[in-house]
Amino acid sequence: MTEGQRRSPGGPSGRPGQPPAGAGRRHARSGPGPDQLGALLGRVARGDQDAYAAVYDRTAGQVLGLVRSIVRDPAQSEEVTQEVLLDVWRSASRFDAELGSAAAWVMTLAHRRAVDRVRSEQKAAEREMRVASSAVAYDEVAEAVEARLDRERVRRCLGSLTELQRESVTLAYYGGYTYREVAGLLGVAIGTVKTRMRDGLIRLRDCLGVDL
């Protein structure tokens, strides 16, 4: 930490409200015991930036270690560490020595922030999975509806043909029969089948609005 950083929780710019740059990359130093750390927090609560720099130096390494054990991801761990140390600056006045040590209070902030980050990431992942699942379900339903509508459309258009046209088209298209086989099944001449097929397909094309 540079001398400028030690004097301001805002880093070189000197703006309060942010911890010094580099939080999460430095290690805790040996320093005052719990009572002295509590006294430093009392000074931080009154806006003493030098006291904050001392608290920062003596807790950053421990905060990062705890956060990384919960969050795992190195980059996110450093982000959470910065947030914790910013919480220390903002809420130092909430520290109550009668409820526990200063170190325990800082570690409680760190644990809470780390757990919140993990939960936030889990919820984001769950939302993405739900969106993906909904998209798949929607696509499947849309395809099923479209297929059903197409079948109903074809059925309706087939109903507009004459009986011989409908039988000829159905046997040829859906039954896979040749003209000669259709003629044999219906007991009519091949030429008649071809004519009925041609007329029937023209009517189907017009009804469905597609090229056949």
Report how far Cα 68 is from the mean position of its chain's Cα atoms. 22
The pLDDT of residue 57? 95
The pLDDT of residue 133? 54
Locate tokens 């705890």: which residue? 66
The pLDDT of residue 24? 38
The pLDDT of residue 194? 83
The pLDDT of residue 40? 95
Farthest-apart Cα atoms in the chain, separation: 110
For 3-125, CATH gives 1.10.1740.10
Q: Which fold has domain 159-208?
A: Arc Repressor Mutant, subunit A (1.10.10)
Per-10-residue mean pLDDT, the chain, length 212: 40 42 40 73 95 95 95 93 95 92 94 92 78 54 58 76 79 74 81 82 75 52
Q: What are the residue boundaries of the structural domains of the chain, listed by start?
A: 3-125, 159-208
Which residue, among 115, 29, 34, has the nearest Cα to 71 in the 3D structure?
A: 115
The pLDDT of residue 150? 67
Amino acid at 139: D
- Cα(148)–Cα(167) distance, rounded to whole angstroms? 22
Which pTM does this prediction carry?
Answer: 0.49
